[in-house]
Structure 1
Amino acid sequence: MSATIVADDRVRVGLDVGGSKTDAVAIDGDDGVLARVRVATGWGVEPVVRSIRDAVTSLFARPEVAGRAAVSIGIGIPGQVEPGGSRVVHAVNLGIDRLDVGAALEPVFGVPVRVENDVKAAALGAALLHPGAASMAYVNLGTGVAAGVVVDGRLWRGARGTAGEVGHIAIDPAGPLCRCGQRGCIEALAGGGAIAERWGRGGPFPVRDVFDAADAGDPQARGLRADLARGVAAAVRVLVLTADVDEVVLGGGLTALAPRLTADVAGALDDSAASSPFLRSLRLAERVRVLPSGSPAAAVGAALVGAADGTPAGEVLVG
């Protein structure tokens, strides 16, 4: 294992900074989660930095962690992250154009702070917490759609760090317009933000409302729900056919709709394979599983990144 094994009184800290909440964990030398806290995430550079500081402070106020010291801090955050560095750019869901997280927080905490894209961090955490396959793709189904690929315990970033950006693969030239400028992208069909916009009826949980309305026979909702399944199924096919991963793990907020969601995706995968002996031989539906609800995978993966001793994030090993 590449992550540093620390003394009993020292812990590795990992944070998953999301658009609405920041999830923080402290893990011990055996990769066990000692404590976990969540705080609201602010909007903009200073509020986000303050949210991270508040989360770490709250974490060390927990009795399981009080009196211990942090050996490292890792942060998973949306946006583009420079490999091996701590600078994030274009984190639009946080109101951040550019932020050097390490420069802002290392003087405060006095330990190394390293940063990784949140979905890639979640892929590392999922591989550690829920092992069972030599290769795995983690697909985050939230406001958008993105994936991270872990092979033999190693995060695969690709030549320019874009490996796993399946959300912007166009699968339907006549489909809805995507925010990237293309039509019919997987994210335009299966992203929670795109579905809510196309639904257009408000509500705190619009995708759940779509599923409920589809169950009641609403034709627009049935079309949106079918598009969601079609988009996720396409992501699964792309990841298996390009990276030949053993399994595809679904995570993110939309997985709260399981088992309805997973049944729809399995049906879409079976439909696409009905006329193709080759696709049937891949048993795609059998290679899909869902991350357990409430799993701290993203924060745990960030902790692994933080403790990587200067190793580039793509070289972090788990297991």
Structure 2
Amino acid sequence: MVGLDIGATKVLGVATDGDGRVLAEVLTTTPLGADAVVAAAADVVTELRARTGHRLEGTVGVGIPGIVDVARGAVKHAVNLGVEEEWLPLADLLSVATGAPVVVDNDVNAAALGAAHVTGHQDLVYLSIGTGLAAASILDGRLRRGAHAAAGEIGHISVDPAGRPCRCGQVGCLEIAASGSAVAELWPATDVPPARALFDAAAAGDAKAVRVRDAFAARVADAVRLVALTVDPEVVLLGGGVAQVGEDLRVAVARALAVQATASPFLRSLELPSRLELVPSDVPVAAVGAALLGRVSP
């Protein structure tokens, strides 16, 4: 099986065996524009074939940001990739380029599938804290996409009517305060990822960093509480670029959840801090999940 994780900066492709174990990986830079993205994805498949020595004729799964019509294999609003088409028929174009059947889904959905496969949890919410904020749900072993493929777009829930404008056209959206972009704005850094720089500074005792870290963790805790009260999953997995901070992030968010529950016996009864986990850092869950898409897509 082949899985492609197409992001704003990179295309990561994996070839896996029938059990989802990674046999080979290929990483390349993501170009801008529909034609260039398709060509880069096809090149990754070609290189995976070369590295494995197999034709890899099975389904190629693709996880990509944007709104995805899984049945049609089409994507729109993938603006970070320079894909301006109302609906780009990505599956058809990539199938022609690779000679293999292709299935396409949202990248966070793919990551949730991969996380479920790797962790063994079949009732989870995967919370992606990256450039933006989004979630994907595996409920009783089934991926929930939503009637309009918008399930999990929690970053665009307006939580502050007097807040700043969001790129979605609303104001005060949750991802303005609970995303990698938010951290980069509040704690800019050039030599290391901003989230890592922030948490390191806070750990070193920088008072301002502690305030910024705790405020950020509280907003991520809001997102965790939101998904927990909506679908009540067994676990909430923290993923995305900010999750590379590791255990420091989980501890900060768990602490914020505990503080938020101080005055609420109801929230305390849900034991949200203990249901919070990090996505495994040693497996490319989004690419592995993309490879599994052929098993779950219509």
TM norm structure 1: 0.86
Q: What is the 5 A alignment of 1:1-319? A: 12-62=1-51, 65-98=52-85, 99-132=88-121, 134-199=122-187, 205-216=193-204, 218=206, 220-308=208-296, 311-312=297-298
Q: CA deviation at 1:221?
A: 3.5
Contact 2:5 2:287 in 1 (8 A): yes
- Is the partner of 1:161 in helix, strand or coil? coil
Q: How many Å separate the matches in 1 of 2:249 and 2:113? A: 24
Q: CA deviation at 1:115?
A: 0.5
Q: CA RMSD in A?
A: 2.0
Q: How many Å separate the matches in 1 of 2:27 and 2:189? A: 30
Q: CA deviation at 1:163?
A: 1.3
- Is the partner of 2:292 in helix, strand or coil? helix
1:240 counterpart letter in structure 2: A
Q: CA deviation at 1:172?
A: 3.7
Q: How many Å separate the matches in 2 of 1:47 and 1:195? A: 30
Contact 1:13 1:306 in 2 (8 A): no
1:28 counterpart letter in structure 2: D
Q: How many Å separate the matches in 2 of 1:112 and 1:42? A: 23
Contact 2:238 2:250 in 1 (8 A): no
Q: 1:15 to 1:49 in 2, by over 3 A?
A: same
Contact 1:176 1:189 in 2 (8 A): no
Q: CA deviation at 1:166?
A: 1.3
Q: 1:32 to 1:202 in 2, by over 3 A?
A: closer
Aligned length: 296
Q: How many Å separate the matches in 2 of 1:24 and 1:300? A: 9
Q: CA deviation at 1:275?
A: 0.5
- Is the partner of 1:71 in helix, strand or coil? coil
2:236 counterpart letter in structure 1: V
Structure 1 gaps, min length 5: 1-11, 313-319
Q: How many Å separate the matches in 2 of 1:259 and 1:150? A: 23
Structure 2 gaps, min length 5: none
Contact 2:46 2:98 in 1 (8 A): no
Q: How many Å separate the matches in 1 of 2:219 and 2:204? A: 22
Q: CA deviation at 1:271?
A: 0.6
Q: How many Å separate the matches in 1 of 2:217 and 2:195? A: 12
Deviation per CA, 1:75-112: give whole Å up to 9, x if none.
00011111322111111111112221122221222221
Deviation per CA, 1:168-218: give whole Å up to 9, x if none.
223344555433344443211111113213445655522222333434555
- Is the partner of 2:159 in helix, strand or coil? coil
TM norm structure 2: 0.92
Deviation per CA, 1:125-176: give whole Å up to 9, x if none.
11111113x4100011111110100012210112222111111223344555
Q: CA deviation at 1:238?
A: 0.9
